[in-house]
Structures are given as C-alpha cells and as structure tokens.
Structure 1
C-alpha cells in the first residue's frame, strides 16, 4: 500500500527515515549503487518529497504504528 511522506528524522546511525501518513517509518537512504536517492541528502530535496507516496510493507502486514 502506498503512503505519503509527512516528515523525516535521523536514526541513531544518522540515516534518514521517512515518517509516513500511516504512522510507519521507512528508511530513505542514498546508498549507491544499491539505492540512489540523491534528494535525501539535502533539506530542499527532502522538503520537495513531502507528500510523495512510498510503498509501505508494514501496512500490508498490518503492523502497529511506529510513532
């Protein structure tokens, strides 16, 4: 199920985590060549992706909210 990004925070290893509308968290790492998300590396890039929908596996598994 796709859910909109509503915010971000850094985890304990300084990796960016998207906060989704469904109240689940999802890492959004820029870690080439495995994942290329250059937008994660800047504040402007992250702000531009607010509202963008990501696939949430936690919703599909009916997991409780993260926050």
Structure 2
C-alpha cells in the first residue's frame, strides 16, 4: 500500500528512516547497487521527497503503527 513520507529521523545506527502518514517507519538507505537513493544524504534531497509515496509492506500485512 502506498503511503506518503511525512518526515525523517535517524535510527540507533544513524541510518535515515522515513516516517510515513500511516504511522509506520521505513529505512531509506543509499547503499548502491542495492538501493540507489542519493537524495537521502542531504537535507534538501530529503525535503524534496516529503509527500513522496513509498510502498508500505507493514500496511499490507496489517501491522500496528510504529512507536
């Protein structure tokens, strides 16, 4: 299910995590060649992706909201 990015935070390992409208969180790493997301490395890049729709697997599975 597609959900919009509403914000970001870093996890305990300092990886960027997108906060989705549905209440779930999803890592948004830039780890080429597996994940090519150079936009996550700058504040302007992250801000440009606010509202971008990500596929939320947690919603698909009916999981409760993240804390």
Q: Residue 45 of structure 2 aligns to a residue in which SS? A: helix
Partner in structure 2 of residue 35 of structure 1? 35
Q: Residue 23 of structure 2 aligns to a residue in which SS? A: coil
Aligned length: 67
Unaligned 5+ segments in structure 1 are none
Moved over 6 A (4+): none
C-alpha displacement at 1:64, in angstroms?
Answer: 0.3
Using the alignment, how far apart are the partners of 1:36 and 1:14 within structure 2?
Answer: 18
C-alpha displacement at 1:20, in angstroms?
Answer: 0.1
- Give the TM-score of the pair, scaled to structure 1: 0.98
C-alpha displacement at 1:19, in angstroms?
Answer: 0.2
- Give the TM-score of the pair, scaled to structure 2: 0.98
Partner in structure 1 of residue 52 of structure 2? 52
Using the alignment, how far apart are the partners of 1:7 and 1:23 within structure 2?
Answer: 11
Unaligned 5+ segments in structure 2 are none
Partner in structure 2 of residue 11 of structure 1? 11
